[in-house]
Chains A and B, each alone.
Chain A
């Protein structure tokens, strides 16, 4: 019983992907776990407090959230305020029936009513499009790929020799094929985690564009979201109280990295959010098309 037997199973025959299944099960379990209790943990980690309806500004936020819930035809999410002066907002929760929207105090201060409405509509769209579920599952799958590649590397270390013995006897062509297979295997082991991360980032960026578009569908006012994004991006300081784990659900990357501002190339590949200038340009285009058709 080497690591090989552990990885591929001795009883079930050659090539049965026990490790893959195991990693997927673990990934699935962690996704389920994150969905069950994730919203509470996320809200606690940002020190979000339920809003106070006696404060006029927070009452206004409450009204705006209710307006957007009506426009989306969804139950009203719970609303939280994060004591942080950097403008940002995120949504969390299991699904449309049980969701929460949290905005920073800085956002309430910076934006006017229309822009606040636009930001809330973006977050409401994350809720409506099941993005919280999508991104939790993606994160768990990336996690299981990392796990798998880690196991694979250990297997390579300890059981590689014996495996070569097993596949001997297929003739010269078979040996060449085995060597080729081995090389591909090593390369994929090394690059799988990287590619998994890149795919997750790409999914996240697409969901951002989608939330922008369906947010504009709710308010019928893409320009308000464009100007809100402009104001939010003007404040480049990182949102201290929002941890990296929820970055993909925020209106803008809370890390305040310069990466998100740059267009094209490598920088774009590694960010959870598309460049703000690109998002604004698309929203402006929407407004222009609306003007043309009406």
Chain B
């Protein structure tokens, strides 16, 4: 009798530990999932900031760069279509187009010494190029955390929990266009080159 009782007690304890483990791993996956969602939202925050900054920049460089009307209009158009974009794939494409036109504008601005000397334009340029960096780093962090989430779902034994509760791996942010893989070599720093 005592042996059966002991066995029974052992099984109960084992089941209890297993349930505790499952809860622990499940909560870990949920925490990662929410971090992924948050990381994605961080990208949006920076994109929104870029949209807000562009009209200011255009307004302040318009006077000096009147011979670049074409580029300025392209930036505005790209910005407006990015603001109006619907859906993730659409937004990604239009934001990429905006990045391209902006880097062209930055490159052109290098040719205008008056602009480079103007304090408020300089400050705006720094804000915008920092926002570009923040978008890049926000995407990088999203990819880092999404990779961690995906790995956590696939490693054994956590994969059992992930399957049971139907966790889905998330997509990573990728550069589709091969030309975009080239890092643009535009030096936006405001200080003299070393």
Contacts and interface: CB of A to CB of B under 8 A. Distances in A.
Interface of A: 56-57, 59-60, 63-64, 66-68, 70-73, 111-114, 218, 220, 231
Interface stretch (B51-59, B70-78, B126-134): B126-134
B191 A112 contact: yes
B194 A63 contact: no
Q: Which 10 A-B pairs have the closest CB atoms?
A: A63-B130, A71-B137, A113-B189, A70-B137, A67-B133, A73-B141, A112-B189, A70-B138, A67-B137, A67-B134
Contact of B39 (A66, A73, A111, A220): A73
Contacts of A71: 137, 140-141
A4 B191 CA distance: 67
B120 to A, nearest CB: 10
Given A70-B42, A73-B39, A113 B137 contact: no
Contacts of B141: 70-73
Contact of B126 (A59, A72, A112, A220): A59
A42 B140 CA distance: 33
A63 B130 CA distance: 6
Contacts of A218: 137
Name the interface size band of chain B. 20 to 34
A76 to B, nearest CB: 11
A112 B194 contact: yes
B134 A59 contact: no
A275 to B, nearest CB: 23
A176 B122 CA distance: 81
B123 interface: yes
Contacts of A68: 137
B145 interface: yes
A112 B193 contact: yes
Contacts of A70: 42, 46, 134, 137-138, 141
Nearest to B145: A73
B134 A56 contact: no
Given A59-B126, A71-B140, A111-B194, 20 more contacts: A56-B122, A56-B190, A59-B123, A60-B126, A63-B126, A63-B127, A64-B130, A66-B130, A66-B134, A67-B130, A67-B133, A67-B134, A67-B137, A70-B42, A70-B137, A70-B141, A71-B141, A72-B141, A218-B137, A220-B140
A67 B46 CA distance: 11
Contacts of A56: 119, 122-123, 126, 190
Of the listed residues A57, A67, A68, A218, the one surrounded by the most CB atoms of chain B closer than 10 A to its CB is A67
Nearest to B192: A112
A66 B194 CA distance: 24
Interface string B50-70: 000000000000000000000
Interface string B20-60: 00000000000000010001001000100000000000000
Contacts of B137: 67-68, 70-71, 218
Contacts of B138: 70
Nearest to B133: A67
Interface string B174-194: 000000000000001111011
A230 to B, nearest CB: 10
Contacts of A111: 194
Contacts of A63: 126-127, 130, 133
